Amino acid sequence: MNVVIIGTGNVATVLGKLIHSRGHRIVEVVGRNKNATQKLATLFNSKVNTDFSAITELGDIYMIAVVDTAIESIAKKLTLQNKLVIHTAGSVSINVLNSPNNKFGVLWPLQSLRKEMNHVPEIPFVIDANNEVTYATLLAFTKTLTERVFRANDAKRIKLHLTAVMVSNFTNHLYALADDYCHKEVLDFKLFLPLIEETGNRVKNNAPKNVQTGPAVRNDDATIGNHLNLLKSYPSLQKIYQLMSESIKEL
């Protein structure tokens, strides 16, 4: 298919690489920043466009991959006829693309994507469309990118997005807090990388609740108390430790 990418950030870059590698043609890259647009378009030998009012009509799919707050305003600028317009956000309604002149849908990559990635990771996609015919088209396209495709409407997709924040963003924040603590206490955070990897591997084949370890699940209040005392100089971290320990006990 001929694809037009609107956006030049992390999602636009990584999905662009994936789409291109699967034999689709990226005919145009559209962005506000000329240098960033040129850089991304060069990867795909695509046309460069910084004028949202003059987007090519040669595309089959128009993928809006920009920050969530800009999707609706960009969609309103499009003057396309009978084209499939999609956005890539997990927490934005499909209806921001609603137009009597176009087919529209959502192609949300359920993965953390960074343009600096040297490889494209495994990406499950969550998709939806405004009708069954459009859905069939989007499904066929997505199947060329991965076998892991799931359908979810707005209500279900926002719950999936919430869960993604917990398992990825919140978990990484704990890593960041631990790394900061290690730096201040002259400890080597990299010592914990095998533990992080093993914990991640366990939940591949087990319910997370069933592989929980540590003092809280053992009701080891003495160790918890010692840890909290160690964190007296780190009140924010102490609060998080206490809240997490209580949550583990409750679950």
Write the pLDDT tens digit of every residue in 127-155. Answer: 999 999 999 999 999 999 999 999 999 99
Distance of CA 21 to the CA centre of its chain: 20
Write the pLDDT tens digit of every residue in 41-70. Answer: 999 999 999 998 899 999 999 999 999 999
Does the pLDDT at position 224 exceed 80? yes
158-250 has the same fold as 2-152: no
What are the distances in angstroms from CA 249 to CA 166, 172, 215, 245?
18, 22, 10, 6
The pLDDT score that the predictor gives to residue 100 is 78
The pLDDT score that the predictor gives to residue 52 is 86
CB atoms within 10 A of CB 28: 21
The pLDDT score that the predictor gives to residue 15 is 97
88-109 b/e (C-beta count within 10 Å ≥ 16 → b):
bbbebbbebbebeebbbbbbbb
Average pLDDT over residues 63-84: 94
pTM value is 0.92
> For residues 102 and 82, is the Cβ–Cβ distance under 8 A?
yes
Does the pLDDT at position 173 exceed 90? yes
State the average pLDDT for the chain. Answer: 96
CATH architecture of the domain formed by 2-152: 3-Layer(aba) Sandwich (3.40)
Q: Quick one: fold of 158-250?
A: N-(1-d-carboxylethyl)-l-norvaline Dehydrogenase; domain 2 (1.10.1040)
Using 50, 70 and 90 to split pLDDT, how confident is the model at 119? confident
User: Residue for token digits 């004028």?
Assistant: 51
> For residues 29 and 51, is the Cβ–Cβ distance under 8 A?
no
Does the pLDDT at position 234 exceed 80? yes
CB atoms within 10 A of CB 172: 11
Segments making up each domain of the chain, as ranges: 2-152, 158-250
